[in-house]
Structure 1
Amino acid sequence: MGVHKTGMDLGDRDRVTVGLISDTHGTLERALLPLLAEVDVIVHAGDLLDPGELRQLTPTSGHVVVVRGNNDTPDQWPEGTEALLDTLPEQAYLTLPGGLLVVEHGHRVNPARRRHERLRGRHPEARAIVYGHTHRRVIDTDTTPWILNPGAAGRQRAFGGIGFLRLTATADEWWVEVMTLPKRGRDT
C-alpha cells in the first residue's frame, strides 16, 4: 500500500497562522480551545483517538488537517468511526505563504536518534516538517527544513507541559511561538 497523502494550498494569502497540535489521545485539553480558535488552520500530527474532538476545533478558516498516528487504529477508535479513520492520510502537505509545511506522525521514521536527519531527507522541498509521536516539544530551526514537534495537546505524557505551537507564515518570514498552559497540579 502506498503512502496516503493530502494537500492544502493557502500560499496566496498574505499571512497564515497555523496551530500545530499532536498526541491528544482522546484527552484534548479544553483550556487550549480558545487559543486554537484564534488561528487560521489547525494541524493535528496524529494520535487523535477520539474523532469527537474535531468538532471542538474551530480555527477561523474552518480547516483542520489531521494525519494518522500509530495509535489511530480501529481497535482504539470508538465503534462506528472506521470510515473517518480510513480517510486520515499518513502525510499532509500545506502550501503556505513562503513555503511548504509537511506533516506526518513520525513513528515510521527510525531510529529515533536520526529522526530529524531522516525527516529532512524525506522532505527536502519543505520549509518546515511537523511530527508528533514523542510527546516532546521540539523547535529545531537551525537547518532548513525546520523540524517541529508540538508536544502533547492532551493530558497523556505532556512532557514540557500541555500546549501547542503556533506557526505564522508570510512570504518573507516564518516564526514559531510556544503556547503552553500553566501547570495545575495533579488534576492535569
Structure 2
Amino acid sequence: MYTDMDTRARVAIVADTHGKLDQRVANEVARCDYVVHAGDVGCLNVLRHLSPLRQRRVVVRGNNDVCSKWPDSEASVLEALPLHAELELPGGLVTVVHGDRCGPANHRHRWLRARYPESRVVVYGHSHRLEVDTSSRPWVLNPGAAGVSRTFGGPSLIIISASKERWRARALRFPLPGQAAFR
C-alpha cells in the first residue's frame, strides 16, 4: 500500500493504454501529485511518460498485460505489477483493480462496493468506458481508455482532488483527431 497523509492531493486516474498514451492525458498527469493506472498498460514506455509531480505511480496488471504482449526486455516490470493495489490519501483509501475479474458488467459496481467497503473510491478499467459513479460509497470510477484504441469518443482520465474533508472526481475526455472539442 502506498500512503500519503499530506493535507491534500490530486490524483490522475488512467487505464487501458495498451502501449500508447495520448499526450494530452500525459500533460494532465504531469499536473497531479500521483497517477493510478488501472491496467492494460502495454509497455514500460507508457509508465515512463506518466510523470506526476511526486513521481509516485500506482499500477495494476490488466488482462492484456501478459508476456506475449509486452517486449521480452520488460518482463521483470510486467511480473512486478500486482492485480490489486491501494493508495491511502487524506480522507480515505483508493483501491485499484483492473476489472476483468469483477463479475458481469451489469453488476460490476455492486460487486466492487461489496468487495471493498472500506475504500473511499474503487478504481477499475477493462471496459474502456468512462464512468463516474458517486451515487454511494465507495465511489466507483472507470477512467475509460487513455490511449488510442477503443476510446469511445476520445482518450479520457479522471482526476481526484482529495482532502480530509472533501473529495471531488472530475472526468476529462479529449476529442479524437478531426472532432471539435467539447464545450
Q: Tell me the TM-score range normalised by the shorter chain.
A: over 0.9
- How do residues 61-100 of structure 1 correspond to structure 2 at under 5 angstroms? 61-100=54-93
Partner of 1:59: 52
The gaps in structure 2 that reach 5 residues or longer are none
Alpha carbons 2:153, 2:175 under 8 Å: kept: no
Q: Deviations over 1:22-41 (max 9, x none)?
A: 00001111222221100000
Alpha carbons 1:136, 1:160 under 8 Å: kept: no
180, 184, 187: which is aligned to 2:173?
180
- How do residues 42-53 of structure 1 correspond to structure 2 at under 5 angstroms? 42-53=35-46
In 1, the alpha carbon distance for the partners of 2:83 and 2:153 equals 26
- How do residues 158-173 of structure 1 correspond to structure 2 at under 5 angstroms? 158-173=151-166
In 2, the alpha carbon distance for the partners of 1:81 and 1:156 equals 22
107, 114, 130: which is aligned to 2:107?
114
Please say if 1:123 is aligned against 2:116: yes
TM-aligned CA deviation for residue 160 of structure 1: 3.6
31, 43, 47: which is aligned to 1:38?
31
Matched to 1:25, the amino acid is H
In 2, the alpha carbon distance for the partners of 1:84 and 1:179 equals 28
The runs of at least 4 aligned residues of structure 1 exceeding 3 Å deviation read none
Q: Deviations over 1:69-109 (max 9, x none)?
A: 00000000011211111100101111101001000001001
The SS at the match of 2:69 is: coil
**C-alpha RMSD over aligned residues:** 1.1
The number of residue pairs the alignment matches comes to 179
**Percent of pairs with identical residues:** 43
Partner of 1:9: 3
Matched to 2:34, the amino acid is V
In 2, the alpha carbon distance for the partners of 1:73 and 1:124 equals 29
The gaps in structure 1 that reach 5 residues or longer are 1-6
TM-score, length-normalised on structure 1? 0.92
- How do residues 145-160 of structure 1 correspond to structure 2 at under 5 angstroms? 145-160=138-153
